[in-house]
Structure 1
Amino acid sequence: MLKKLPLIALTLLLTTSCVSKKVYTDLEDKYTNLKKDNRRLSDQNRDLETALNQAENELKDTKDDYESALADSKLWESEYKALVNEHKNLEESYNALEKNSSASIAANSKKNRELLAQLEAKEQALIAENARLEKLKKELESRSQRVAELENVIASKDAAMSKLKDAISKALTNFEGKGLTVEQRNGKVYVSMENKLLFQSGSWAVGSQGKQAVKQLGEVLAENPEIAILIEGHTDDVPYKGNDQLSGNWDLSAKRATAIVNILRENPSIQPENLTAAGRGEFAPIASNSSAEGKAQNRRIEVILTPKLDEISKLLNDI
């Protein structure tokens, strides 16, 4: 009987208190900010892909310019050598004719001057073309290096997220088959925990088994301070029929997400600024609500882990 008194007291407290307008407004503001952050991350990811494509296209254009310039340089060299040979032949002819005809000498002298002028012009053009070729070569090398750096950073981020997924899966092995899944998609890691692992029906109090799972997850997250942590609460489409403390499924999902955040904050190594809680109600299902199995899948907490993109943004600005 004594063991039931705290539960009875908690029930009375929950049935007699209500969520203040400020708390609810804060939750709505947090959710609005979450949506903005999510859009920003999506835009950054899209901008990243666009920038990478643009950089690769620019790299291809620079390569094409380099190859064209190289071909022009070879043509200039060929013409230059031809003029040198022609000039040599003309000099030999000039020397032979010098003894025979002053008129022929004058004509050959004029032609020789013209050829020398052409030769000098071709030589100057060849020097300018070689300078342009060298400039294009350096530009090509610089862009190639920046694209390689960008690809390396992206690969490093993906590898880090893959390593994080493996660490989380290993830490939560004991909860496999109990409504917990860990996936990596679109450069992010998604940890999904069904409510059967965390909450009783209509409650946002986390059970002992659920607390253990969240704390073990927190131990992994504490070792990854460069990861943004978004906790989303989800429900099925059955309207909430609990006490007057909640206004509906959206309110319930927000409280459940906040409950998970509070457990993670018990770990002092997790930076609070990396944590965001959001309630999404029944509006983001992953299965049909037409069956009990689908409803159970939709009643969940999703922990979405996103790498910070500051380093990638800097490289994009440099390209």
Structure 2
Amino acid sequence: MNYKLAITAVAISSATLFSCVGKKKVQEMQAQAAAKYDDLNKAYLKKESDLTACLEASKQKGQLADDLTAKNKQLQTEIDGLNKQVDYLKQNNNQVLGQLKDLSVITGAQAESIKKSMENIGMKDMYIQDLQSSIAKKDSLNMALVMNLKGAIGNLDDGDINIKVDKSAIFIDISDKLLFKSGSYDVTDKAKVVLGKVAKVLNAQPTIEFMVEGHTDNVTYKGTGELKDNWDLSVKRATTIVRLLQTSYGLDPKRMTAAGRSEYLPVTDNTTAEGRAANRRTRIVILPQLDQFFKLLEKK
């Protein structure tokens, strides 16, 4: 009887022991699976974030390309019109020469005058071609400069900074909350970071000139001290940025102009808080290099 009880006790103990070992193994496997799931989930969220950033960057590049395409289309239309005028003048001159030849009334002086007119038309045609080439080159340079600026500044909110091309100039609009303390022309620490990135791109293009414009909303300035109104505030903000670019980032002062526009050049209406916030900005205008076109005109 005691022998049977002993066997039974050993069997129960073994079963209990194996059961405990099995549960421990399962728990370890569950813990490993949970850790692996967390790692995979973190990797998935990272890839999803990277994809969103790439899609946003692609959207901005697409909009910029559309703007430049529309501008090029407009300029091409103007050039086509000039080419039609040149063709019309050529046809008329050829017709006049033929009539004079048939009538045998053309004199040597008249023939020389007509010859010079034909030569001038040829020079006009060459001028148009040079102009078209310069426009294409300028647009390519603007496109490269804008992409460099966007790449240097990084992923900032479009409500705080906006870069665009309009009428042969590049505009960089930076909100006042990013640059200045409220109602003041004292710059913030974040402003120095942003301006440092912009200055790096501008320093790499030493022939480019630009203007820094201060803009306000239409709320009456109520501060004290040396500033009297929004005119003073907008000018002081512009000169503060110009001075910082010169002294802290080494930009040549001969390349810069400071201007205050007060409340009189808004980007939207001032009837809402959002509109007033958009109008309170500092604009850096990278000016077109008109000397290239003046040189073309000098050839004539």
> Structure 1-normalised TM-score?
0.61
Indicate the residue corresponding to 1:175 in structure 2.
Answer: 156
- Structure 2: 5+ residue runs without aligned partners? 1-74
Alpha-carbon contact 1:234-1:253 (below 8 Å) kept: yes
Matched, 1:267 2:244: no
2:89 to 41, 48, 62: 62
Offset of residue 68 of structure 1 = 1.8
Question: SS at the partner of 1:183?
Answer: strand
Alpha-carbon contact 1:161-1:307 (below 8 Å) kept: no
CA distance in 1, matches of 2:147, 2:141: 10
Offset of residue 52 of structure 1 = 7.4
Q: How does 1:125-274 map to 2 (within 5 A)?
A: 137-265=118-246, 266-268=248-250, 270-274=251-255
Moved segments of 4+, more than 3 Å:
51-58, 69-73, 124-140
CA distance in 1, matches of 2:196, 2:258: 16
Alpha-carbon contact 1:199-1:205 (below 8 Å) kept: yes
Offset of residue 267 of structure 1 = 2.4
Q: Which moved more, 1:129-138 or 1:274-283?
A: 129-138
State the one-letter code of the partner of 1:267. Answer: Y
CA distance in 1, matches of 2:235, 2:111: 66
Distance 1:143 1:61, change over 3 A: same
Question: SS at the partner of 1:258?
Answer: helix
CA distance in 2, matches of 1:276, 1:131: 51
Matched, 1:315 2:290: no
State the one-letter code of the partner of 1:302. Answer: R
Distance 1:66 1:262, change over 3 A: same
CA distance in 1, matches of 2:112, 2:220: 74
Indicate the residue corresponding to 2:270 in structure 1.
Answer: 289
CA distance in 2, matches of 1:134, 1:279: 54
- Structure 1: 5+ residue runs without aligned partners? 1-47, 77-120
1:301 to 260, 264, 282: 282
Distance 1:68 1:192, change over 3 A: same
CA distance in 2, matches of 1:167, 1:215: 14
Offset of residue 250 of structure 1 = 1.2
Offset of residue 173 of structure 1 = 2.1
CA distance in 2, matches of 1:280, 1:57: 42
Which one scores higher on RCO, CA 8 angstroms, separation ≥ 6? 1
State the one-letter code of the partner of 1:65. Answer: N
Question: SS at the partner of 1:205?
Answer: coil
State the one-letter code of the partner of 1:59. Answer: V
Distance 1:206 1:135, change over 3 A: same
Question: SS at the partner of 2:209?
Answer: strand
State the one-letter code of the partner of 2:249. Answer: N
**Superposition RMSD in Å:** 3.2
Offset of residue 125 of structure 1 = 6.6
